[in-house]
Amino acid sequence: VQLAGDGFKGIMRAMSAESAYQSLKSQGETLASLGALRALAWWDEETMMPAKGIEWRGRQLETVARLVHEMFLRPQTEEWIAICEDAGFPKGGAEAANVALWRREIDIARKLPADLIAEEAATASHARVDWAAARKASDFSAFLPWLEKSVELRRRRADFLGYEDHPYDALLDNYERGMRTRDLRALFARLRPKLVDLAARAADRAATMPSDLLAGDFPVDQQIAFNRKVAEDIGFDFDAGRIDTTTHPFCSRIAPGDVRMTTRYRTDDFTGSLFGILHESGHGLYEQGIPSDRFGTPVGASVSLGVHESQSRLWENHVGRSAAFWEKWLPVAAEHFPCLAKRTPEDALRALTRSRKGFIRVGADEATYDLHILLRFELELALIEGTLAPKDLPGEWNARFRDMLGLDVPDDARGCLQDIHWAMGAIGYFATYTLGNLNAAHLMEAARASDPALARASDQGDFQPLLGWMRERIHRHGSMLPPAELITRAAGSPMDESAFLRHIERTYVRD
């Protein structure tokens, strides 16, 4: 890193595209190293840090964020990008893709004024605290001023960023590059009646099933040992990662060779921690599959939330809720947990595909989950459009919830106050969960159809060919292609909802 000084422009003009590109790459590695330390500090805060470390940890994270921001926004960065653009690297190569993504990043950064960024950060920080208290007390009025502020800030953000059709496009694009409101609206409109119908039929089937098929006592150390066996078997590399315990499971790539995931444990249920690990392993396998020599450049990162979630949902729901998985793993589970000795693989699968309508998104099963997302998508779109006033959110939430799931929301804590996203200003985020679910089903069908040996192996509990397919068609590409194009090329056809609906019908409705 060099600091700006006199004579700078003169030097820049004489620079070759090759050396401008190398400067961007080297700066990217410096920023990635700082980013890695930030990720490490965040992981450490969640898993290891003593309580009194919090004050200075906050300052460390702020300092790094500020340095990264300042360094990327130095005048050199834009000059280097311009030199590379003028030269024109060959289309389809990593250089051209990186230059385009750097351009995208700096354009976005330059469009957003510093005082908006600062106001967003300050709002998120205060709103999170007040949201937590409001949820606890189920007191919407305590959160309302922050919701109003969040919506206003996001509308201003959309105006600064610009958009063709709809202000919500500018927000969506932040989480899922290239995703448009009109496409999502059409998708959710098609999904709505089908999801409502499937949820009802899944509930009917569940009513005929016993609820205690996997009850018992599950010591934490045995859960840890069993989960590790499963994660290792599906391909997670423990020389390049680890598992720790947190209240909210997550997965974070610190740097190549260092991917860390977490889960949580209950002694009356081993499937919670196991499915946490299957889910996070999906994220982790993706991160471990991105070529490490591209780390520090834009193409060396995961491409979007919707693709990331496709990988976690694949292992959680398409592998973890398959007959082959339980034929292989129930006997091993029974060695760790003697209380399972009399259970069959069919028992396990039935217990894990028993649908139950509920109020809380994060506790929802696959057959109802996307209705929770649909609700949030419709509401935040209305908030951004201005057709729904923030003060009217609870009434609208509860009415629509009843429409879709046939349940009366008992209080706002179990209604519109349940998620942290809006308190953080994350409007446009929820839809990526559904994109992940649909992508997962679409990729799974495509993988099986494209390779009969892969399908046979998967049906026998060997998921290595499936991982190989994902490595080849998804993971190794990083951010080379926009998300929708990546999925289309991988699957051989554009993503639609049909594979997902077939999966829900087969898994949760038919017996």
> Binding mask 264-283 vs a copy of itself (x if CB under 8 A, - otherwise)?
--------------------
Pick the binder of a copy of itself from 237, 269, 451, 505 (CB under 8 A).
Answer: 237
66 part of the interface to a copy of itself, by CB under 8 A: yes
Q: How far apart are CA 499 and CA 438, in angstroms?
A: 7
48 part of the interface to a copy of itself, by CB under 8 A: yes
Identity of the residue, 35 or 394, whose beta carbon is nearer to a copy of itself in the bound complex: 35
420 part of the interface to a copy of itself, by CB under 8 A: no
Pick the binder of a copy of itself from 257, 331, 395, 410 (CB under 8 A).
Answer: 257
β-bridge partners, 260: 242, 252
Q: Which stretch binds a copy of itself (CB under 8 A): 126-134, 201-209, 231-239, 356-364?
A: 231-239
Pick the binder of a copy of itself from 11, 19, 22, 56 (CB under 8 A).
Answer: 56
Q: Determine the Cα angle at 290 with ends 277 and 443, to 5°.
A: 65
Q: How far apart are CA 87 and CA 81, in angstroms?
A: 10
- Tell me which residues in 70-89 interact with a copy of itself (CB under 8 A): 70, 74
Identity of the residue, 40 or 116, whose beta carbon is nearer to a copy of itself in the bound complex: 40
52 part of the interface to a copy of itself, by CB under 8 A: yes
Q: How far apart are CA 494 and CA 502, in angstroms?
A: 16
What is the β-pairing status of strands 258-263 and 241-245?
parallel
State both tokens at 480: 């080379």
Pick the binder of a copy of itself from 17, 109, 240, 382 (CB under 8 A).
Answer: 240
Q: What is the DSSP track for 418-434? A: S-STGGGT-TT-THHHH
Pick the binder of a copy of itself from 16, 22, 63, 211 (CB under 8 A).
Answer: 63
CA 118 from centre of chain: 25
Identity of the residue, 56 or 506, whose beta carbon is nearer to a copy of itself in the bound complex: 56
Is the distance from CB of 39 to CB of 64 less than 8 angstroms? Answer: no
**3-state DSSP percent of the chain in helix, strand and coil, to 5:** 70, 5, 25
19 part of the interface to a copy of itself, by CB under 8 A: no
Identity of the residue, 38 or 354, whose beta carbon is nearer to a copy of itself in the bound complex: 38
Closest of 339, 327, 364, 397 to residue 508, by C-alpha = 364
In the block, which residue shows the tokens 């004579």?
7
Q: Which stretch binds a copy of itself (CB under 8 A): 86-94, 215-223, 233-241, 497-505?
A: 233-241
In the block, which residue shows the tokens 């057959």?
367
Q: How far apart are CA 493 and CA 487, in angstroms?
A: 8
- Tell me which residues in 294-353 interact with a copy of itself (CB under 8 A): 295
280 is catalytic: yes
In the chain, the amino acid numbered 448 is R
Pick the binder of a copy of itself from 17, 25, 29, 229 (CB under 8 A).
Answer: 29
Identity of the residue, 6 or 115, whose beta carbon is nearer to a copy of itself in the bound complex: 6
33 part of the interface to a copy of itself, by CB under 8 A: yes
116 part of the interface to a copy of itself, by CB under 8 A: no
| Rounded alpha-carbon distances, angstroms, from residue 200 to 25, 135, 207, 447, 483 | 53, 29, 11, 30, 32
In the chain, the amino acid numbered 130 is D
362 DSSP 8-state letter: G
Pick the binder of a copy of itself from 37, 116, 224, 301 (CB under 8 A).
Answer: 37
- Sign of the Cα pseudo-torsion (246, 251, 254, 257, in order): positive
Catalytic residue among 79, 95, 120, 280: 280
57 part of the interface to a copy of itself, by CB under 8 A: yes
Q: How far apart are CA 323 and CA 279, in angstroms?
A: 18
Find the DSSP H helices in 293-430.
305-313, 323-336, 345-352, 366-385, 393-405
For residue 29, the minimal CB distance to a copy of itself (Å) is: 7
For residue 55, the minimal CB distance to a copy of itself (Å) is: 6
1 part of the interface to a copy of itself, by CB under 8 A: yes
For residue 319, the minimal CB distance to a copy of itself (Å) is: 23
Q: How far apart are CA 56 and CA 427, in angstroms?
A: 29
What is the β-pairing status of strands 251-255 and 241-245?
unpaired
255 part of the interface to a copy of itself, by CB under 8 A: yes
- Report the run of H or E that residue 261 belongs to, with start and end: strand 258-263
Q: Which stretch binds a copy of itself (CB under 8 A): 50-58, 195-203, 312-320, 356-364?
A: 50-58
404 part of the interface to a copy of itself, by CB under 8 A: no
Pick the binder of a copy of itself from 7, 9, 14, 51 (CB under 8 A).
Answer: 51
Q: Which stretch binds a copy of itself (CB under 8 A): 240-248, 273-281, 432-440, 461-469?
A: 240-248
For residue 91, the minimal CB distance to a copy of itself (Å) is: 30
In the block, which residue shows the tokens 């080379």?
480
Closest of 323, 328, 315, 330 to residue 349, by C-alpha = 323
Active site residues: 280
Residue ranges that bind a copy of itself, judged by CB under 8 A: 1, 3-6, 29-30, 33-34, 36-38, 40-41, 44, 48-57, 59-60, 62-64, 66-67, 70, 74, 237-242, 254-258, 292, 295
